Amino acid sequence: MTVTLALELVLVLLGCGAAWQVAAGGGARQATATGLLGSDFVDISFVAPGPTSPATAPGAATGTYTWDCGRNENGHRNTANIVVAPGFPGQPHHVHDYVGNLSTAVGSTPKTLSAAGTTCGNGDRSTYFWPVLRTVGPMDAGEHAVHGGEIQVPVDVTLAFSGNPRGNVVPMPQQLAGTVGDAVAFTNGPQKAAATWTCSSTPERRTTAYPRCPAGDQVQRVFDFPSCWDGRQVDSESHRAHLVFPSPDGSCARNTFPVPQLRLTVAYDIAPDALFRIDAFEGQNNSPLTDHAFFVNLMPEPLMAKVVDCLNSGQSCQDD
């Protein structure tokens, strides 16, 4: 029996259904999502390494800028989504974690956000948010028991901007909204599912399933936001059309302009055999495919100018 056939037989016997990728016989395979919590996990050692970064053109923006906004140790959480549904509370079982702006809530407006404090040491008043992650026991983990579990506080949240491998970047405008992932990918399909999971010792292995990490590793959620702006709108009806992803070679489509690309990495200390899941909407079965995140840029313009200069000049900059 070949290695590939053996792995396929194991998947059938286990009823394994989460969307995930395994390295078998030199190829990657994709299973069908079931939403049953136990089958939403994959051993990270079965996940094939991702593609390499695109080549960098001469004179392109090769710099990086990282800054610290804490890890939501102050417990700023609510069900609001000021990008998709401003002014309306969300479902009670879909709670968001926040870093950055301290005032983000159902009734937030650009004016209230711009006047609020921040958890960011560099004065960035932007808001960054994503669904909370919970650890769950056997009684919480059934197909229909979708709302329980203890919220896990991240052990680390890393915010990093990178440039563009094909040229220079331009500043993000105030109030630019960014979206990555799809909160209803379980029923919509994976076309817009973009958030990925990994382990701290194997960052090159990315999966759309919940990862089983080696002892001592952190479970990591990695959100790579789109970075090609239409130059006109700070939001759009789809909350996506105004800020889109670059091509595989890093270039932006015609009539779009590269802005700093945000990578948000959220890390947790999770035991290797623990069950965990993100908060999700009804009907999404807490599928890892539905992971997603948002930001609204409220960096003061002098700070954004500093970021752009850092990226375009090829520096590695870090603010506390």
Burial of residue 151, with CB atoms counted within 10 A of its CB: 0-12 exposed, 13-18 middle, 19 or more buried: middle
- Nearest one of 103, 118, 228, 243 to 176, comparing CA atoms: 243
| pLDDT above 90 for 141 | no
The predicted model scores a pTM of 0.87
Would you report the helix, strand and coil content of the chain in percent, each value rounded to 5? 15, 30, 55
Neighbour count for residue 201 (Cβ, 10 Å): 12
pLDDT confidence bin for 4, thresholds 50/70/90: very low
Yes or no: say if 199 and 218 are a contact pair by the CB < 8 Å rule. Answer: yes
The pLDDT of residue 51 is: 87
Q: Is the pLDDT higher at 147 or at 189?
A: 189
Q: What are phi and psi of 44, to 5 degrees?
A: -60, -25
Strands 210-212 and 41-43: parallel
155 token code pair: 């052990």
pLDDT digits (tens, 9 = 90+) for 262-320: 999 999 999 999 999 999 999 999 999 999 999 999 999 999 999 999 999 999 999 98
307 token code pair: 């970021």
pLDDT digits (tens, 9 = 90+) for 290-305: 999 999 999 999 999 9
